Amino acid sequence: MDAVILCAGRGKRLLPLTENRPKPMLPVGGKPILEHIIEKVEELVDNIFLVVKYRKGTVIDHFRDHPKVKFVEQGALEGTGYALLSAKDYLEDEFLVINGDIIFEDNLRGLLPYENAIGLVEVENPEDFGVVILDDEGNVVEIEEKPRNPKSNLINGGVYKFQSDILDILENLEPSERGEIELTDAIKKLIQERRIKGVKLKGYWNDIGRPWDLLDSNRYVLKSIKRDIRGEIGRNVVIEGNVVVEEGAVIRHNTVIEGPALIKAGAVVGPLAYIRPYTVLMEDTFVGNSCEIKNSIVMGNTRIPHLSYVGDSIIGENCNLGCNTITANLRFDDKPVKVNIKGKVVESVRKLGVIMGDNVKTGVQVSFMPGVKVGSNSWIGANLLVDRDVESNTFVYKIEEKRVKRL
């Protein structure tokens, strides 16, 4: 049996984090989402076909040496069904299909005894997903996409097992209203014939569609790490709890690290830095004198040299935060932070800091209000309070109606 992982899309709801990488390559617990999925299935299957398209080079470069991974390029971004059809020439008999943007705990063995099966997840907000209805024998009898009044709290978990005839069904489908070949439309054909089972997935599951989902999954992964200190540790360093300091990392004098936390190879921390729980510092990052980082993901080669606070935030690659850069993460009224997602303002979570793309620079004394997004390749001038989103390739030098100058 083989596996197909659908990882061709961009992930627009996660911009600016996906400007330079596909969503499945965003880091969770120190490695890409896609790597977590591959580790789940590599013992179950003979081959793993990654369906790629957007920024495909980042996927290929990362996994090219994996003995079971093969790459299939999706011709056009025309739906999940079209993505699966891209791998048709390589598939035989039966196979797993997995969305490339989920973090899950289940080992998927519960799907294997059935010819066709969907992994199901029980959630509190089924109206935000594809709701699945089962009969008394566990057959799927209905899938309803984002219903106003859901009939069940079981949703489609984005994990499937199929027989090869699903490919024939897909080839004969008409495009949906969105002009796409939808995998769920093919599944509805199986439902009509009572040929697909629903299998409840055990444990944690998260569909990473928004920045705060990434932080949630990061916390989940870090809860399972074990203490492992291999880097260089300076004088008077305090390390509490389950902390991983990889070989090649340097923790300078008088730094405090509270686990769970992960410090990747090449990172330099301190002196006098404070790393709080659920923080990941990726390769070659620098967090310097009197900086505090909490519940955040700081991507590779980013520098936070001195006197800064980063909380509940995601910082892209190759950024440089000037002295006393501060990320606010909590509203005065203690209500959920509001974030602009694809032009619509939505409520997120109680605490959320800044979501920053790659190659961003801030001057001294810059403060970000909760939930602000900063596009890649932008510069934020000194002494500014940034209270609204900043587009990519922008130099912000004054916050007013005419506050920006295009680079």
What element of type H or E holds 275? strand 274-275
Whether residue 16 is preceded by a cis peptide bond, meaning omega within 30 degrees of 0, is yes
Q: CA 70 to CA 237: how far, in whole Å?
A: 44
Give the count of beta carbons closer than 10 Å to the beta carbon of residue 120: 24
Number of neighbouring beta carbons within 10 Å of residue 123: 17
Q: Of 36, 62, 253, 306, which residue is the catalytic one?
A: 306
Query: Rounded to an integer, what is the distance from CA 314 to the centroid of its chain?
Result: 11
Active site residue 306: yes
At a CB cut-off of 8 Å and minimum separation 6, what does 263 contact? Answer: 231, 243, 244, 245, 246, 249, 251, 257, 269, 275, 281
List the structure tokens of 130.
């594809």
Among the listed residues 85, 168, 154, the one whose alpha carbon sits nearest the alpha carbon of residue 125: 154
- Cα 269 to chain centroid, rounded: 25
Enclosing H/E stretch for 222: helix 211-222
DSSP E strands, 57-200: 69-73, 94-99, 102-104, 117-122, 130-134, 140-145, 154-163, 197-200
- Please report, in angstroms and rounded to a whole number, the separation of the first and last CA atoms in the chain: 51
Q: Are strands 102-104 and 205-207 parallel, antiparallel or unpaired?
A: antiparallel
Query: Collapsing DSSP states into helix, strand and coil, what is residue 79?
Result: coil
Catalytic residue list? 306
